[in-house]
Chains A and B, each alone.
Chain A
Amino acid sequence: KAGVTQTPRYLIKTRGQQVTLSCSPISGHRSVSWYQQTPGQGLQFLFEYFSETQRNKGNFPGRFSGRQFSNSRSEMNVSTLELGDSALYLCASSLAGTYNEQFFGPGTRLTVL
């Protein structure tokens, strides 16, 4: 089985811009979760999508949003970028939810200048 893929792998943006990150889950997985990883805050849960519906959301501002398509692929969008949004963004897929084993992608490294 092909693993979880994320595109792009690296991204440089400036403050105020917006960005869209993409995640393709393992075939057959219906749940996709997104995480932000920073040296200071560690791994923080952003949100989870299941069957095109956001099922759970972490404690992030509304500038962070996402969606899931009928093929389970997911996108994450961050609007009005701030310097503090610089991070590694990981997505993970699982069969049915975060209580199952999650398979992680390689991440997208976002740098906000």
Chain B
Amino acid sequence: AQRVTQPEKLLSVFKGAPVELKCNYSYSGSPELFWYVQYSRQRLQLLLRHISRESIKGFTADLNKGETSFHLKKPFAQEEDSAMYYCALSDNYGQNFVFGPGTRLSVLP
């Protein structure tokens, strides 16, 4: 069965510091991987997905199949990045979808 782990429940960094939110997965095939974010009092929304290979709001994530990881990174954190971040996995056919437990990022002034 596929599984997504996010080892940190809470991550606190200072404004301007680099941030890395960790995500590891277990899946036997080639997964579709996503980062979803929920800002305070807003809906859950897609931040980025690995196949698009783009940077959104300064965030990037690289799929490392050898380490089965999809860590989210940003070189300089901003206070508005404070939110709940969920890593998620879907198989190629969309037949199985699983969220990780989430990491709350707090960017301190």
Question: Given A43-B86, A104-B43, does the pair A56, B94 have CB atoms closer than 8 Å?
Answer: yes
Query: For window 54-88 of chain A, which residues contact chain B by CB distance below 8 Å?
Result: 55-56
Known A-B contacts A98-B90, A99-B90; A55 and B46 likewise in contact (beta carbons under 8 Å): no
Number of chain A interface residues as a range: 20 to 34
Are B99 and A105 within 8 A (Cβ)? no
Interface: A27 (CB within 8 A): no
Partner of A56, one of B45, B96, B102: B96
| Majority-rule SS of A interface residues | strand
Could you say which residues of chain A place their CB within 8 Å of the CB of B45?
A: 103-104
What are 24 A-B pairs with beta-carbon distances under 8 A? A31-B94, A33-B97, A35-B99, A42-B99, A42-B100, A42-B102, A43-B86, A43-B99, A43-B102, A45-B98, A45-B99, A48-B94, A92-B44, A96-B94, A97-B90, A98-B94, A99-B93, A100-B94, A101-B46, A102-B36, A102-B46, A104-B43, A104-B45, A106-B43
In contact, A99 and B102 (Cβ under 8 angstroms): no
| Separation of A33 and B97 alpha carbons in the complex (Å) | 10
Query: Is A21 on the interface with B (CB-CB < 8 A)?
Result: no
CB distance from A57 to the nearest CB of B (A): 10
Which A positions have Cβ atoms within 8 angstroms of B? 3, 31, 33, 35, 42-45, 48, 55-56, 90, 92, 96-106
Write the residues of chain B forming the contact surface with A, with a CB cutoff of 8 angstroms.
32, 36, 43-46, 49, 86, 90-102
With contacts A99-B90, A99-B91, A99-B92 taken as known, whether A56 is within 8 angstroms of B46 at the C-beta atoms is: no
Please, which residues of chain A bring their CB within 8 A of the CB of B102?
42-43
How many whole Å from B40's CB to the nearest CB in chain A?
14
- How distant is the Cα of A40 from the Cα of B43 in the complex, in angstroms? 20
Known A99-B91, A103-B45; 11 more pairs at CB < 8 Å: A31-B94, A33-B97, A35-B99, A42-B100, A55-B95, A56-B95, A96-B94, A98-B90, A99-B94, A104-B43, A106-B43
Q: Which residue of A lies closest to B102 (CB)?
A: A42
Contact, CB under 8 Å: A97 / B98? no
A97 CA to B97 CA in the complex, in Å? 10
Closest to A92 in B: B44
